[in-house]
Structure 1
């Protein structure tokens, strides 16, 4: 049975809703980012990375897209330190388990690629894990991927909702049946 990917579940450790659909930013989708945020279902999630920008330009761009995301009721995550995420007014902090561990008061989104990292995410009290890469992705051409079976097995061990990342689109999300899915350019 097809699953609705616009639903939201309450997190375990913090207050904000956990969206099922997430847009991840990077240099590749920057030109169309505002339009993509407007096309996402209301209350989706958005992770601002933009590692390619210097600090001042990154902050400025974050402010611009945060305003757009807020108009649509999106949860906004910053890929940075918990302190910077709080200071910039993000709802969430995104990164490796060790990077999100001090994010009390924020939604904590941990990136996970293995059982070891999943255990670290649990110790960091992550509210959501993004398991990747599930499928081949343009972000990491030629990199090893988990595939459907390994991604599902990893997700079974998660104590929190799972969002799948890496070459994802709606058809592939239905194959792995996570809480949700995330993409950089999978919404085209």
Structure 2
């Protein structure tokens, strides 16, 4: 899957350097995020989603140290304040907060700011990149109906920002993304240790 993501990255042109892979954490599906970070390919962005964990700052700081040592990018999910305090490289916004992306990009111009978008809504998001889901059938409890590669290609053509594909992506499905125009691949379980 990493090779396919790199091939996608070579095809795309972006305003900021963007990683080929985004690895999302999830308390249920990726319980050992530090082990996950240690196993990711160099250049990957790890999106740490704390979901209100009481030790989120300490965990984010440990992840930042691992990411720095391994050549990874650390994004914090939904919490710009936590991202700033942890010294993260940016933030990933859920769709409900995507409207904050332009202000965050102005406030933190060195940050990578990504946002979630579902299907056609990706055309309106003004972030460094958007993560569109679900592309293929997914086991994620939050995954909606998959849009498939043809619809994804349409979304990419109309999007205001570069697009990552998320949802049901694994070694078998990743190659089907090569002709869609996405900048890279995002995943949860298929990138865990």
- If the length of structure 2 is used for normalisation, what is the TM-score? 0.79
CA shift in 2, pair 1:141/1:114, >3 Å: closer
> Comparing 102-111 with 74-83, which one deviates more in the overlay?
74-83
Determine whether 1:179 maps to 2:183. Answer: yes
Partner of 2:28: 28
Partner of 1:146: 147
Determine whether 1:78 maps to 2:76. Answer: yes
Partner of 1:50: 50
Determine whether 1:118 maps to 2:122. Answer: yes
CA shift in 2, pair 1:120/1:81, >3 Å: farther
> Comparing 98-107 with 68-77, which one deviates more in the overlay?
98-107
C-alpha separation in 1, matches of 2:153 and 2:13: 22
How far the C-alpha of 1:142 sits from its partner, in A, is: 7.2
Partner of 1:90: 88
Secondary structure of the residue that 2:172 maps to in structure 1?
helix
Partner of 2:63: 65
How far the C-alpha of 1:141 sits from its partner, in A, is: 6.4
Partner of 1:158: 159
Q: Which has the higher contact order (CA 8 A, sep 6+)?
A: 2
- If the length of structure 1 is used for normalisation, what is the TM-score? 0.81
C-alpha separation in 1, matches of 2:5 and 2:23: 13
How far the C-alpha of 1:80 sits from its partner, in A, is: 2.2
Alignment gaps of 5+ in structure 2: none
Secondary structure of the residue that 2:84 maps to in structure 1?
helix
Partner of 1:170: 171
How many residues align? The count is 177
